């Protein structure tokens, strides 16, 4: 499990030293660098997975900026641009700390302004082989971007992605195929829905989906002659409907549920905006599920704008579903000079209470309530 991420001159960050816990929540206003944290991890994974092209003869990774996980442009797009020192000595750096192996560092010179592959600066450390066996670089990993596949009449199939590598696709495009192939896989008892004894993945996904849309019934059918999957949604007493006739919420949530419930101890799960298209109660229950998963040996890093997700996690702490020491709430905001990003991390206690509330940290409800009660700007 990763304990800390350090970034140097990457996008919004001159320097960032971020603690990672089993459940790490990234919040803040738009454009503050939350996505850049996830992109830094995805960039390293992407470069490793395409390593036949980008690993130097010393074993260190060159960075490939455009690939299947992220498209970041060229060197000028990812280097911190508010530099007040010489570009010829500017260095891009990533450091990850893993609890059992120690730290590993990747460094790159500012010499590829217009290139989309950056050459590694430092040789590989002696622990490089072991470090590349950790979850970020292996198949025990899920990532779902904010823009996921919506309702459609047909969903993709991929034996290579699903059967060989147990991947959903970054947009969740192979979720239906994954759920069909691995439907009977047992789900860890610590994350099973409390109202069902069935431990198979499909049954657990259905049970948790019921928290978002009560009594939802999901039908998945492969059409191997066309290499597509169909998904139909039903409710008690009705016929089943195409996903295009039900709305975005169920289809958008399905990949998130599958990613969380299929993750086993030792997995790393990166989620962008799991609250998308969900009503408040559904968002809160999603927060509870995320907390349960993080308590079961899975590391989850979530970018969110949802106070309901956060409060669902807080309630899970209050109900002893997750240890507060396993949870980190990070709030990203600009410094007073507007040139850098500052991160505040209020601590949560066993009652689910925060030791302080940074300004603009999920406090809009209070601000609006004050306006309603007392008027004013």
- Rounded to whole angstroms, the Cα distance separating 260 from 309 reads 14
pLDDT, one tens digit per residue, over 162-174 is 999 999 999 999 9
The DSSP annotation for 297-342 comes to T-EEEEE---HHHHHHHHHHHHTTSS-GGGEEEEEEEE-TTSSSEE
pLDDT at 84 > cutoff 70: no
Percent of the chain whose pLDDT exceeds 70: 89
- Rounded to whole angstroms, the Cα distance separating 309 from 314 reads 9
Q: Which of 337, 329, 148 is nearest to 249 (CA)?
A: 148
pLDDT at 350 > cutoff 70: yes
Which letter does DSSP use for residue 73 in this model?
-
pLDDT at 57 > cutoff 50: no
- Rounded to whole angstroms, the Cα distance separating 69 from 107 reads 21
| 350 three-state secondary structure | coil
Dihedral sign of CA atoms 353, 359, 364, 365 in order = positive
pLDDT at 279 > cutoff 60: yes
34 φ/ψ sector (left φ>0, alpha ψ -120 to 50, else beta): alpha
* Fold observed for domain 1-140+263-377: Rossmann fold (3.40.50)
Could you tell me the pLDDT band of residue 331, with boundaries at 50, 70 and 90?
A: very high
pLDDT at 120 (0 to 100): 83
pLDDT at 377 (0 to 100): 62
Residue 90 burial class via C-beta count within 10 angstroms: exposed 0-12, middle 13-18, buried 19 and up: middle
- Max CA separation in the chain (angstroms): 69
Percent of the chain whose pLDDT exceeds 90: 64
Long-range contacts of 31-34 (CB under 8 A, 24+ apart): 32/332, 32/333, 32/334, 32/341, 33/332, 33/341, 34/303, 34/332
- Among 237-251, 342-356, 359-373, which range has the highest average pLDDT? 342-356
Mean per-residue pLDDT over the chain, rounded:
89
Cα 12 to the center of its chain, rounded Å: 19
Helix (H) or strand (E) holding 343: strand 341-344
Q: Which of 304, 279, 289, 288 is nearest to 213 (CA)?
A: 279
Compute CA distances 102 → 105, 134, 302, 328, 342, whole Å. Answer: 10, 12, 23, 20, 26
- Rounded to whole angstroms, the Cα distance separating 72 from 35 reads 12
- Rounded to whole angstroms, the Cα distance separating 136 from 131 reads 9
Compute CA distances 136 → 1, 47, 339, whole Å. Answer: 10, 11, 30
User: Residues 295-308: what's their mean pLDDT?
Assistant: 96
Write out the two tokens for 93. Answer: 């750096």
Could you tell me the pLDDT band of residue 340, with boundaries at 50, 70 and 90?
A: confident
pLDDT at 34 > cutoff 70: yes
Residue 263 burial class via C-beta count within 10 angstroms: exposed 0-12, middle 13-18, buried 19 and up: buried
- Rounded to whole angstroms, the Cα distance separating 18 from 170 reads 24
- Residue in this structure with the two tokens 């700390």, named with its chain if needed: 97
- Rounded to whole angstroms, the Cα distance separating 103 from 246 reads 47
Q: In the chain, where are the structural domains located?
A: 1-140+263-377, 149-262
pLDDT at 83 (0 to 100): 58
- Rounded to whole angstroms, the Cα distance separating 7 from 93 reads 6
pLDDT at 56 (0 to 100): 47
Could you tell me the pLDDT band of residue 370, with boundaries at 50, 70 and 90?
A: low
pLDDT at 149 > cutoff 60: yes
Dihedral sign of CA atoms 57, 106, 67, 260 in order = positive
| Contact assessment for residue 344 and residue 333, using Cβ atoms and an 8 Å cutoff | yes
pTM as predicted: 0.92
């Amino acid at each position: 499990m990763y304990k800390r991420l350090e970034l140097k001159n990457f996008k919004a960050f001159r320097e960032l030293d971020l603690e990672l816990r089993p459940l790490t929540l990234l919040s803040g206003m738009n454009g503050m660098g939350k996505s850049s944290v996830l992109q830094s991890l995805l960039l390293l994974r992407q470069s490793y997975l395409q390593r036949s092209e980008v690993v130097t003869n010393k074993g260190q990774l060159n960075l490939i900026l455009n690939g299947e996980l992220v498209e970041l442009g060229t060197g000028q797009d990812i280097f911190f641009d508010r530099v007040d020192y010489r570009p010829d000595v500017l260095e891009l750096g990533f450091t990850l700390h893993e609890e059992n192996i120690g730290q590993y560092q990747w460094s790159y010179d500012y010499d590829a302004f217009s290139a989309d592959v950056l050459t590694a600066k430092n040789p590989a450390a002696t622990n490089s082989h072991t470090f590349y066996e950790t979850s970020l670089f292996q198949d025990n990993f899920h990532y779902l971007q904010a823009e996921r596949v919506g309702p459609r009449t047909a969903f993709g199939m991929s034996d290579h992605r699903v059967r060989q590598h147990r991947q959903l696709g970054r947009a969740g495009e192979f979720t239906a195929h994954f759920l069909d192939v691995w439907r009977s896989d047992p789900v860890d008892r610590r994350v099973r829905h409390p109202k069902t004894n069935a431990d198979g993945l499909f049954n657990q996904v259905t049970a948790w989906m019921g928290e978002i849309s009560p009594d939802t019934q999901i039908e998945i059918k492969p059409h191997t002659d066309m290499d597509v999957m169909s998904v139909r949604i039903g409710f008690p007493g009705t016929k089943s409907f195409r996903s295009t006739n039900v709305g975005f919420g169920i289809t958008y949530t399905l990949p998130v549920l599958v990613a969380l419930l299929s993750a086993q101890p030792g997995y790393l799960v990166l989620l962008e905006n799991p609250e998308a298209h969900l009503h408040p109660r559904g968002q809160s229950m999603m927060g509870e599920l995320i907390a349960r998963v993080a308590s079961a040996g899975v590391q989850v890093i979530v970018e969110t704008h949802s106070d309901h997700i956060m409060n669902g996690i807080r309630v899970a702490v209050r109900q002893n579903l997750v240890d507060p020491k396993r949870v980190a709430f990070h709030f990203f905001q600009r410094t007073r000079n507007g040139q850098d990003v500052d991160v505040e991390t209020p601590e949560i206690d066993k009652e689910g209470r925060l030791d302080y509330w940074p300004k603009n940290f999920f406090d809009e409800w209070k601000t609006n309530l004050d306006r309603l009660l007392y008027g004013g700007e």
